[in-house]
Structure 1
Amino acid sequence: MSWMLILIYACVFALTCGFSYWALTGLMPSGMTQRLDSLKDTPHFVLTEPSARWQRWRDKLQRALSWLGPLSSATEPEDASHTFSSRLRFYNAGIHSHLAPLVYLASKTVLTFALPSIAIGVLWYSQVSLSQAPGMALVLVFAMLGYYLPNAILAHRVARYQQALFNAFPDALDLMRVCVQAGLGLDAAIDRVGHEMHLSCPELSNEFELTGLELRAGASRADALRHLSARIGLEDVEALVVMLIQADMLGTSVHESLQVHSESLRTKRRLLAEETAAKLPIKLLIPLVFCVFPALLTVLLGPAVISVHEILAPTAQGA
């Protein structure tokens, strides 16, 4: 069994796994259906304490992963700024658990050693020597894949989380503007928006509820808003936070500021949608040229080529 055949088997395995994941996610109910089913028999916004069984499992998981974290964190800088930025990446992905960095580092360590071990086992079973260049390259590729795969997964989750927040943020600003116009203060408006956005966008609802908890715990409004901007990591939210802090300091109208900012966000969202629609024909060109057109030409010209070959073949043999 050659190394090229091994790579073909690996590609087929990856495609099969990807198709299975796509099929399973397509057959599963949507997020809105799951949220409605979970809220069907339970009251809104009831904080439940974790069960004792889950607490024991979490403690066991933390002890099991505690010895894997330093192996991977040894390659990471240990300064305070890097620690804050690494924690901030999980906040940008909507992950607030204190076990998230430990699980992340442990997964990098395990995958860095597990995937090359699988590759070595496949090479040994196919009787390919590791001293050869293809075998060594395959092991190195699997090691790099195992090390950088958690980074790619985390980056994908950050992008998906921020996209959900960006899509729901103009509606939240309109709701906040209505609350302020009705006479609520900014702190009460933030808390109200966090409760009202629970079904339409639970991600944004969680962020506003965390900000409301900070305000009730005694944090200043400016610090709570800055923490909100840091957790979300969007430039539009940062601009809103700066605008609200300046409006609070200078005594300007918060209602007008929210209205202007929500309109600008909607304009930006519409422009991004138009840009995506304009890119669609270019993206469709590649599958059309390399997938659809060859099959179409084969169907249209195949019978004609066969007929011409049958007509000219006796003439060529007679000559």
Structure 2
Amino acid sequence: MNASSLPAPADTASIMLVALLAGTSAAALAAVLAHSLITLPQEDRTWLDRPPRFMHALWWPTRWIAQAVDPLLPARGRERLLTRLRLAGLDYAVSPAQLLAHRIAVGGLGALFAALVAHGWQVPVLASALVGALAGSLLAWSWFNDRARARRRHLLKQLPFVLDLITLCIEAGLNLNGALQQAVAKGPAGPLRDELQRVLRDVRAGKSRAEALRRLAVRIDETAVTSLVSAIIQAENMGMSLGPVLRAQGEQRRGERFARAEKAAMEAPVKMLLPLIAFIFPCTFLVLGFPIAMKFLAMGL
């Protein structure tokens, strides 16, 4: 190696200065992150429900991100996220800031995984990280939407049976609160039982039964439940017997459930058409046509 290939002293000093500044910046950033992690306040979850498993796996980074996101979240966005949390049954488990922070945490995890895979496969890391972050965020939001839809289907499926149980209890001589308690104790586990437990909890906390039922209708935001709550409140205000009213509501909900099942059965052939054309038919034609094509090739055609 000749002397001309060695770096000049000025270049060496510049390189050392840049390395020193980069190391100092990295150390300062690490110190700030460590301080924010140490000073993360403890969350009092005495009166809160446990977060779902998909969120509990990343609960610690979710809380840390939520602490920074919460002051930046506007009031309208907070109310919109709270409405979605009610529909998913998570408003007593997760705050709006934590829901948004969980989406960011899953996106960051997806970006890290995609960057590691891209580095191993020698592909652009930045573009892969952006794609991974987008995929992670969409996965978190899709999980939340699927949970809300599954909860709605389960609730509407259980509603006729629970209404029949409440009707039997009322016709046996219990009042509405006693009938709701029996439905909670003897009814099937699911979102409807959880919502009835919240109604009883609101009544024990001092709210009137009509107000607790109205809050139930607002949380679920379903036409069948809103109609049921309106019928119960109107019957109580007019002094009517709740037995016939609830029995009529149960029959109507059962008819609606049968109509939804018929609609799903009629939609099934249409939904199966695309998988049949795209996946099953080509494989079938390939299996049937391959021996014929080989015979033609053997015959020299």
Unaligned runs of 5+ in 2: 1-45, 51-57
- Seen in structure 2, the aligned counterparts of structure 1 residues 74 and 253 have a Cα distance that, compared at 3 Å, is same
**How many equivalent residue pairs?**
247
Unaligned runs of 5+ in 1: 1-49, 55-60, 314-319
- Seen in structure 2, the aligned counterparts of structure 1 residues 106 and 274 have a Cα distance that, compared at 3 Å, is same
Q: Are the aligned partners of 2:62 and 2:105 in contact in 1 as well (CA < 8 Å)?
A: no
2:113 maps to 118
Q: In the TM superposition, what are the counterparts of 1:185-196 in structure 2 within 5 Å? A: 185-196=175-186
2:222 maps to 234
In 1, Cα distance between the equivalents of 2:291 and 2:94?
Answer: 64
Q: Are the aligned partners of 1:104 and 1:150 in contact in 2 as well (CA < 8 Å)?
A: no
Q: In the TM superposition, what are the counterparts of 1:64-103 in structure 2 within 5 Å? A: 65-73=62-70, 76-77=73-74, 79=75, 82-95=77-90, 97-99=92-94, 101=96, 103=98
In 2, Cα distance between the equivalents of 1:295 and 1:123?
Answer: 33
Cα distance, 1:276 vs. partner? 0.9
Q: Are the aligned partners of 2:61 and 2:105 in contact in 1 as well (CA < 8 Å)?
A: no
Q: Does 1:176 align with 2:161?
A: no
In 1, Cα distance between the equivalents of 2:94 and 2:279?
Answer: 45
In 1, Cα distance between the equivalents of 2:300 and 2:99?
Answer: 67
2:264 maps to 276
In 2, Cα distance between the equivalents of 1:183 and 1:223?
Answer: 24
TM-score by length of 2: 0.71
Higher RCO, Cα 8 Å, sep 6+: 1
1:58 maps to none
Amino acid at match of 2:119: W
- Seen in structure 2, the aligned counterparts of structure 1 residues 118 and 300 have a Cα distance that, compared at 3 Å, is closer
1:239-268: CA deviation from partner (whole Å, max 9, x where unpaired) = 111111122222233222212211111111
Cα distance, 1:164 vs. partner? 1.1
In 2, Cα distance between the equivalents of 1:275 and 1:122?
Answer: 44
Which of 207, 222, 243 is equivalent to 2:231?
A: 243
Q: Are the aligned partners of 2:166 and 2:183 in contact in 1 as well (CA < 8 Å)?
A: yes
1:26-66: CA deviation from partner (whole Å, max 9, x where unpaired) = xxxxxxxxxxxxxxxxxxxxxxxx8xxx9xxxxxx988654
Q: Are the aligned partners of 2:78 and 2:96 in contact in 1 as well (CA < 8 Å)?
A: no
Amino acid at match of 2:214: R
Q: In the TM superposition, what are the counterparts of 1:254-273 in structure 2 within 5 Å? A: 254-273=242-261
2:29 maps to none
Secondary structure in 1 matching 2:102: helix
In 1, Cα distance between the equivalents of 2:267 and 2:250?
Answer: 26
- Seen in structure 2, the aligned counterparts of structure 1 residues 97 and 306 have a Cα distance that, compared at 3 Å, is same
Which of 277, 285, 294 is equivalent to 1:289?
A: 277
- Seen in structure 2, the aligned counterparts of structure 1 residues 271 and 63 have a Cα distance that, compared at 3 Å, is closer
Amino acid at match of 1:294: P
Cα distance, 1:101 vs. partner? 4.4
Q: Does 1:104 align with 2:92?
A: no
Cα distance, 1:162 vs. partner? 1.6
291-300 or 259-268: which moved more? 291-300
1:217 maps to 205
CA RMSD of aligned residues (A): 2.9
TM-score by length of 1: 0.68
Q: Does 1:152 align with 2:142?
A: yes
In 1, Cα distance between the equivalents of 2:59 and 2:275?
Answer: 47
In 2, Cα distance between the equivalents of 1:218 and 1:75?
Answer: 34
Amino acid at match of 1:90: L
Percent identity of paired positions between Structure 1 and Structure 2: 28
Amino acid at match of 1:234: E
Amino acid at match of 1:146: G
Secondary structure in 2 matching 1:113: helix
- Seen in structure 2, the aligned counterparts of structure 1 residues 267 and 70 have a Cα distance that, compared at 3 Å, is same
Cα distance, 1:165 vs. partner? 1.0
Secondary structure in 2 matching 1:68: helix
1:45 maps to none
Cα distance, 1:219 vs. partner? 0.9
Secondary structure in 1 matching 2:64: coil
